[in-house]
Amino acid sequence: MSEFDVIVVGAGPAGSSAAIKMASQGLKVLLVERGDPVGSKNVSGGILWGNDLAAIIPDWEKSAPLERYVERKVTSFLTGDSEIAIDFKTKKFQEKKTGYSVLRTRLDSFLARKAAQAGAMVVTGVTVDSLAMKDGRVIGVVNEGETITADCVILAEGPNPRVAMAAGLVGKPNDRTVGIGVKHVYKLGENVINERFNLRGNAGFAGEYVLSFLEGDVYAGGFLYTNKDTVSMGVVINMATLRKNGNTHSFDIMEKFAQHPFISSLVEGGQLQEYSAHFVYEGGYEDMPRAYGNGYMLVGDTAGFSFSNGMILQGMNYAISSGILAGEAAIEARKDNDFSAESLSRYQKKLDNSPAVLDKKNFQGISNVVWSPMVHRAIPALLESSLYSMLYESGKPKKHLSQIMMKSLKSSGMNSKDLMVQGYRLMRRM
């Protein structure tokens, strides 16, 4: 007889959500986390969208360590001299608060406590060395030569899943499937943040940026999110272009983003509280591994549940939803006393009807757009040249929009045919 019904490896949002779901239904659950305390090794300071947590924590909006709700959303291109932005504010964000800034150290610690309160055994500072196998099925985990047995193991290791890779359940990270994320947290004070970002109360700002000013054909995106009295700021860098460049370092890109004239004024005078770096999952639907097998399931980034279509980032909430669905599958498997691959295939069926998989499937090939020369070079150049010509008073006779656009098109390095073809592909993918 196994020591536990389920062992969960990793106490991020996916792993803790799975543990909460299962323990609340009476399963004997062990949640193992390498960091000590929980959340100490996690990087993301970002936006938690939606109410996936409501399925396991009904009062999450009151009890979770949320920072600010998103009132203002900005998507922006940064060139060397300009910022071209879609700056969106709406009363609908105030009426239905669906997105909140969070700090992962606090959020992960909160979720692990909820798992313990639900009845899970939470162990921190422990590194799982490998999966324990018998007759082709997972029967537990191995730590320092000792086997801890379970009928099922849920792997929630994030985008660099050492245990899953060693067992051959997922492939090794590569330039296609991961990027490098670098994050800083600056303390500014609540009043300073409200003044600089034109906010009131607990309203917040969420900005995502295309860093088209970078030299050497390195592609990267940036983010800036307001917390109560700090701002989370960072970059996500495309591995293929960074490796090809060979002379640029990830921390250099972070500094260039922080020093951009339209970003530096927002964080000026801030005291650096935290800095970190981490893999960020970038793989598409075609890169997702099989999420289940004999005695195991994969959740969160380990299963490929991170998504961006260039306008919105989805990570934490998809991790939470995949963890909950894995927990449901384990509960049903426990009732049947069957944790075989055939039994756990119900997890995949649940996933196939969830936004986590449907978004990945519907936006196949989106990475070819997000990391394309058109997005990082041509469009920013076209917009900058066109808007400058239209909005700047030069004292010369005005030109028609068609003339301005054609001139700007030439300066962007594209011709009208390329623009039509690439524009069609962009719209189709996005």
Domain harbouring 136, CATH code: 3.50.50.60
Q: Cα–Cα distance between 80 and 342 in angstroms, integer?
A: 55
Give me the domain span that covers residue 258: 178-281
- Please tell me the predicted confidence (pLDDT) of residue 379: 84
Per-residue pLDDT at 96: 78
Residue 84 lies in a domain: no
> What does the pLDDT read at residue 356?
85
If asked whether residues 269 and 141 sit together in one domain, one would say: no
Do 397 and 425 belong together in one domain?
Answer: yes
pLDDT in tens, 147-175: 999 999 999 999 999 999 999 999 999 99
- pLDDT given for residue 146 in this prediction: 95
Q: Are residues 125 and 265 in the same domain?
A: no
Whether residues 35 and 127 fall in one domain: yes
Residue closest to 67 by CA, chosen among 231, 289, 213: 231
pLDDT of residue 240: 92
The verdict on 123 and 25 lying in the same domain is yes
Same domain, 136 and 238: no
In a domain, 213, yes or no: yes
Residue with tokens 């700047």: 392
Given this model, what pLDDT does residue 409 score? 64
List, for residues 368-421, the tens digit of each pLDDT value.
Answer: 778 888 888 888 888 888 888 778 787 877 776 666 666 666 666 666 666 666
Which residues lie below 8 Å from residue 19, measured CB to CB, with a gap of 6+?
Answer: 8, 11, 29, 31, 115, 118, 120, 122, 323, 327
Within this chain, do residues 336 and 384 fall inside the same structural domain, yes or no?
Answer: no
**Per-residue pLDDT, 168:** 96
- Please check whether residues 222 and 254 belong to one and the same domain: yes
The total number of structural domains that make up the chain: 3
Q: Is 33 left (phi over 0), alpha (psi -120 to 50) or beta?
A: beta
Residue from 34, 375, 54, 10 nearest 211 by CA: 375
Any idea what DSSP says for residue 337? T
Q: Are 293 and 254 contained in the same domain?
A: no
Do 148 and 189 reside in the same domain of the chain? no
The predicted pLDDT at position 310 comes to 65
Give the domain-ending residue among 220, 247, 281: 281
Domain membership of residue 137 (yes or no) is: yes
Residue ranges, the chain, pLDDT below 70: 43-45, 50, 309-311, 400-430
Does the residue 91 lie in any domain? no
Does residue 348 lie within any of the structural domains? yes
106 and 30 co-located in one domain: yes
Tell me what pLDDT residue 392 has.
Answer: 79
Is residue 116 included in any domain, yes or no?
yes
Q: Examine the domain organization and report whether 165 and 18 are in the same domain.
A: yes
